[in-house]
Structure 1
Amino acid sequence: MAPKTRRLLLSNLILEKFSKTEQGFGLAYGLIHDDQYFVLGFILSDESSNVKNLLQSDGNDLSLTSDLLKCWAANQTTLPGGVHIIGNVSIPNEDAFLVDVVEAAIPDIISEEVYHCPETQSPLSLVYKDGTIRASMVDDFMQKEELEYEIVPVEDILENFMLVHLKGQIVINVENSSESIVEEMQEQIARSLTEVFTFNFQSKVFLNGTEEICGADGSKKVDFLLFRDESGKKKKGRTGAEMEVISAELLSKPVKTKTTAEGNDLSKCAPIVQHKKGDIEFLRIPFVVDGLCYVHKDTKIGDLYPILQTCVSRQLLLTNTCLLSELRKTDSASTPVSMHFLSPQNGHFLTLVLPKKLDDSAQESKRQNLHEAFSLDKDRPVFRKGCQVLIKDDMKENSLLINPHVGLSPGIKDAEVAVVYGRYAYHHYMQDNFDDNGWGCAYRSLQTLVSWFRLQGYTDKPVPSHIAIQQCLVDIGDKPANFVGSKQWIGSTEVSFCMETLLGVTCRIMSVSSSEEMCSRVDELLRHFKTQGTPIMIGGGVLAHTILGVAWNPDSDDLRFLILDPHYTQGEDLTVIQTKGWCGWKGPDFWTKTAFYNLCMPQRPICL
């Protein structure tokens, strides 16, 4: 019987990545629920390698080289739990035989257990050629069925899922040598695939195994695991969060008495002690497990244990790679740290485990490989330490809001929309227990700009305080010494001076003499957000704001500006901020008709 699937959804970002890739092949990954395939992306083989070098011929059969398997396995471990390899992709371009070569290797890919598909289903095959994606299913008997699919925003796919944030600690005691680390980590990974862990949820539910659940009926859906207050109501997360987050804790079970197949108690056997003489350097590494899983909202609690197991094993595989890499470079190993990254080019989380002591410069080659594997632009950072994302349940109460514009619509039909790229923090009046009401709006806009460069990984310099901004302007000779500690305003020019002095970032100043001229230069703003992606500080009269995007329909000439207002004085309440217009889309009448405006437009560095 030919393989079938009920529904196939492709992330819109896949089409964008396909269009940027000249030629290649690799693996598609995504989520499966009730015979529905949700394809999130793909992992390419090394683009510098020839397909024939990666697929070796043995008679009439094609098989995978060990290098290719290692490459795929290493990159798969960065995916959240619940996300698996579910098919292959081919981008043949001028190589007409590429698709046939890759599909001929599918039986070997199946035999190597690279794919993760339900028993009743087969792996997908996605072929991109001449701007079109062809989807089919191919099983190990080479039966093929063409499939219909929908291309949808990645946000619409992830609306069907919840995020499980798993944290805990695994202590690694090992001799300081590559051989010992490999042996110990292999043992840890093997243990993680048995039921040696308990997963504890804030809802007082314990998963002790696939069949052993305490505190809940295994047939209940996973949203039961959301933290609830004393009345039984779900605890509200930070307003505006893209996904609901279930917090889980990793616990080790008490060691049980082992028995042989004949039932003999092994605890009565004599232990064997191996004594090794010599100087031995031992490592004790308290690795903090910090993993993520995507689970469908209809998933039952009883089906959650193996997903969490996968998450733990991937964390350990990443840790193993991290320890060995650092050991080769420095002859020592520091505590590895798990970090989560969420690039707009992916739309979903990836997780890396990186050495605590090594800086970004030591990881440049690794980042280059990741950009190539996941088809990411090579002119902006994605995997620098500063790019890591704090998960919602780790955020402190009243911490700064990140991207408060998410979820807002310009309300213009068929508009060309361009908004800020990536993440920034909303800085406004009265934060940090500092009263700057009435004079600090440009300072706060500058802080928002600096936060963007920090969260994109371009700098690790701290967001400057008002005093630090003033001192900077005094140091470069722009202001007199008594400017420090004053309540004097600054404008776009001073903001550009500080950006260049503090961060080394060049800013373009665009001047307009009226709101009408501002609107006439919308094409320049669109181009800025598409190419630079940085927030814009704008000053005019006595006010300063931050522009986060523009939307324009050239046929109707309908125009909106996405404005972040630093004059807000209350707490970090996203509902208030959005509904009251402190962050929102504004029409041309937002600008004073006769005012003169200067726009400070930071130019991002081209780097990885």
Structure 2
Amino acid sequence: MKPLIKISESVIKRLSKAKEPCFGKLAGTCSQNTFVVLGLHVDNETDLFNSYPGEVYCCGVFQINDDGTFDEDRVLQSVHVVDVTDSPIFISCKLGAPNEIVVRIVSNDHIEELEYLTVSEQDIYSQFVHIRLKGEIPLKCEVSLESIQEAFQKVIKTVSSGEVVFTIPKTNVFLFGGANEDSTVGIDSERKVVDMLEESNETVEGIQKKKKTQSFKLDILDINILKRVTRNTEDSATNQHAPLCILEKKAAKALDTMLCIDFLSVIYREGKVANLYEILIETTVRYLKLYESSLMSYFVTYVSDIAYIAEVSRLETFHFYPTECGHFLTLLYPTSETENSLKKQRELLHKQLLLDVVTPMFRRGNRYKFKIENPNSGPLLNPHEGVKPTDNGGTIALVKGKYEYYHYCQNKMDDNGWGCAYRSLQTLASWYKLQGYVDREVPSYKEIQKCLVDIGDKPASFIDSRQWIGSTEVNFVLNTLLGITCKILYVSSGEDMAMKGPELVNHFLNQGSPIMIGGGVLAHTILGVDYNQQTGDIRFLILDPHYTGGEDLHVIQNKGWCGWKTVDFWDKSAYYNMCLPQVPRGV
């Protein structure tokens, strides 16, 4: 029976947008004669599979060339690395021809063309639960290549031997290893993985989709890893003896650290709980291998083919979910490395994943924010997603990426009547932070005022005052504190805003940052436009900083605090200045 092949829309888009011929591997899952291809990466010295979530494996290869042909011998040789199926997938693609993607399977050294389905992320992840595995494992060894490798092998052996237990936080559910005891406590092992979601209070995460401003939900289940402190008395494999110590006197550096495990796994919702323990063990081992390889890549240098270990810094785990990828990717960065020092690595990663090299996707600021990291008391993210659509029938161009909604009276501060431009500035600053362009936090009112005083734009008495600022001051602050340049558009009256459609469409298509606009005594944030070139009609997607209520998305969207406005929204008797922040190019 031929397998059913489903390929993510994101994979198809990346294949069709490739700039040069290449050969690489496909990443996906396989279950019940169904392949789901989630990702891909070009072959180079770095193997990315340890960065993919657990249960995502190499399921085939792909080739892109100028004429759509393929090297059969190379394909047959390359698919031997696939160990999750006897029928690996092979995708061939003609460069620059999105409609000429051909899918084949390789069976018994024979390559056969096969039909496939292109599926959305929503369709894919409706079948899966993401598990986020967290815990701590100590690592102690000498700082040498051999000692570090031996230490990791020992930790992996300990984890694989069944000496760890998994538990769902705030529940009585435990998963054990070993054949001589019940494998689960608190839940029937014959139940499905999806049933475990009911045992956890915080499982729903949001992935926002740009297309049609819709969103879908990811189910993310937190599971902790614990080390067993008692032994199974029925375990026959343990004849304990006194430890053997060898004393060697020499000068050496010691590595004494705690491996903070934080990794993801993709599990079929309908899978049995009984199978979960082994999957979590494999997930833990994958993370340990990722940690070891990251440690070696950052701190091992070679002189005359001899390996030397440099000073070892702590590694931090970052989970990324680039929209262009359509799946999680986990990377480890040393705390001692700056964003600039990691630039070359990010550029190589973008090329390996067939991503553009002008938009950051793997800076620390691009990390995925889990629900526990986004408390309900904080500013709302992207409140424009889900607003009632415009009926203007023109070209719609919207803000790209994420931002936070800053408005009056947040953080118990009474800025009603004077702080609207400050709040719009904070929204703009949050966009640059969440896109990873800057490292610093969103500036406070006092930091904004002090910045304007420091550059000589305002007198010292401006600090802690309630004086207004406008688009010019917003430009000064963004440039001084964030290093961002801005373009200023002047409009003589609110009525003339109708003439700015082409320029605003161009800004959102090519820059994608939110716009601050000031006029009269009011300031607003523009998140997008709908410009009808044939009729000249225009609609503006406005985020209003004058809102004084709580973070209630229903009220904000339905009461017009975030929504589409006609040109009549602007005061015909007032002039306006728009501050259009420009976007740095590079990863």
| TM-score, scaled to structure 1 | 0.84
Among residues 2, 8, 25, which one is paired with 1:10 in the alignment? 8
- Written as runs of structure 1 = structure 2, the 5 A alignment for 1:130-169 is 130-169=97-136
Aligned equivalent of 1:535: 514
Alpha-carbon distance in 1 for matches of 2:397, 2:372: 30
Aligned equivalents of 1:264, 1:453: Cα separation in 2: 57
Match for residue 21 of structure 1?
Answer: 19
Secondary structure of 1:447 counterpart: helix
Q: Distance in 2 between matches of 1:141 and 1:585?
A: 58
Q: Tell me which residue corresponds to 2:347.
A: 368
Deviation per CA, 1:289-334: give whole Å up to 9, x if none: 1112233433333343344333322321221123223433672212
Q: Of 91, 94, 115, which aligns to 1:125? A: 91
Q: For residues 405 and 304 of structure 1, do their structure 2 counterparts lie closer, same or farther at Cα, with a shift above 3 Å needed?
A: farther
Structure 1 distance, partners of 2:167, 2:460, is 57
Trace 1:343-358 onto structure 2 (pairs within 5 A): 343-358=322-337
1:250 aligns with 2:249: no
- The yes-or-no answer on 1:111 pairing with 2:80 is yes
Name 1:45's counterpart in structure 2: 43
The more displaced of 556-565 and 457-466 is 556-565
Per-residue CA shift, 1:250-275, capped at 9, x if unaligned? 11234647999xx57421x4543322
Q: Deviations over 1:161-202 (max 9, x none)?
A: 333222111111111112211221233335444544322113
Partner of 2:295: 323
- 1:333/1:226 CA distance change after superposition, 3 Å: same
Q: What is aligned with 1:208? A: 176
| 2:151 alignment counterpart | 184
Question: What is the deviation of 1:556?
Answer: 7.0
Q: How does 1:129-528 map to 2 (within 5 A)?
A: 129=95, 130-202=97-169, 203-209=171-177, 212-226=183-197, 242-254=217-229, 256=231, 265-267=238-240, 269=241, 271-328=243-300, 331-408=310-387, 410-412=389-391, 416-528=395-507
Pair 606,122 (structure 1): closer, same or farther in 2 beyond 3 Å: closer
Q: Which amino acid is the alignment partner of residue 349 of structure 1? A: F
The equivalent residue for 2:212 is none
Please list the CA deviations of residues 575-603 of structure 1 after superposition, one character each: whole Å capped at 9, or x if unmatched.
43334333334444433445432211111
CA shift at 1:480, angstroms? 2.6
Distance in 1 between the 2:137 and 2:116 partners? 42
Q: 1:310 to 1:127 in 2, by over 3 A?
A: farther
**Alignment check: 8 A CA contact 2:409 2:415 kept:** yes
Structure 1, 28-37 or 333-342: larger mean CA deviation? 28-37
Q: Secondary structure at the residue paired with 2:416? A: coil
Alpha carbons 1:410, 1:560 under 8 Å: kept? no
Aligned to 1:93: 66
Decide whether aligned partners of structure 1 residues 108 and 415 sit closer, same or farther in structure 2, where only a CA change above 3 A counts: farther
Number of equivalent positions = 567
Which amino acid is the alignment partner of residue 22 of structure 1? E
Unaligned 5+ runs, structure 1: 47-66
Cα distance in 2 for partners of 1:359, 1:579 equals: 43
The answer to whether the 8 A contact 1:287-1:335 is kept is: no
Residue 407 to residue 155, structure 1, CA distance change in 2 (3 Å):
farther
Question: Letter of the aligned partner of 2:110 in structure 1?
Answer: Q
Q: Secondary structure at the match of 1:438?
A: coil
One-letter amino acid of the counterpart of residue 199, structure 1 = F
CA contact (8 A) 1:247 1:393 kept: no
In structure 2, how many angstroms separate the alpha carbons of the residues matched to 1:207 and 1:157? Answer: 27
Which ranges of structure 2 fall in alignment gaps of 5 or more residues? 207-214, 302-308
Secondary structure, counterpart of 2:342 in structure 1? helix
Could you tell me which residue of structure 2 aligns to residue 561 of structure 1? 540
SS at structure 1 position matched to 2:53: coil
Preserved CA contact (<8 Å) 2:203 2:219: no
Aligned to 1:56: none
Change (3 A) 1:355 1:160: same
Question: In 2, Cα distance between the equivalents of 1:241 and 1:125?
Answer: 28
C-alpha contact 1:428 1:566 (8 A) present in aligned 2: yes
The answer to whether the 8 A contact 2:3-2:35 is kept is: no
Deviation at 1:374, TM superposition (A): 0.8
Q: Is the 8 A contact 1:166 1:249 kept in 2?
A: yes
| AA partner of residue 423 (structure 2) | R
The one-letter code matched in structure 2 to 1:376 is L
What TM-score results when the alignment is normalised by the length of structure 2?
A: 0.87
**Secondary structure of 2:578's aligned partner:** strand
State the alpha-carbon separation in 1 of the partners of residues 88 and 119 from structure 2: 22
Instruction: Give, in angstroms, the shift of residue 507 of structure 1.
Output: 0.1
Q: What displacement does 1:40 show?
A: 2.8
> Aligned in 2, Cα 1:593/1:22: closer, same or farther, shift over 3 Å?
farther
SS of 2:340's equivalent in the other structure is helix
Residue pair 1:11, 1:39 contacting (<8 A) in 2 also: no
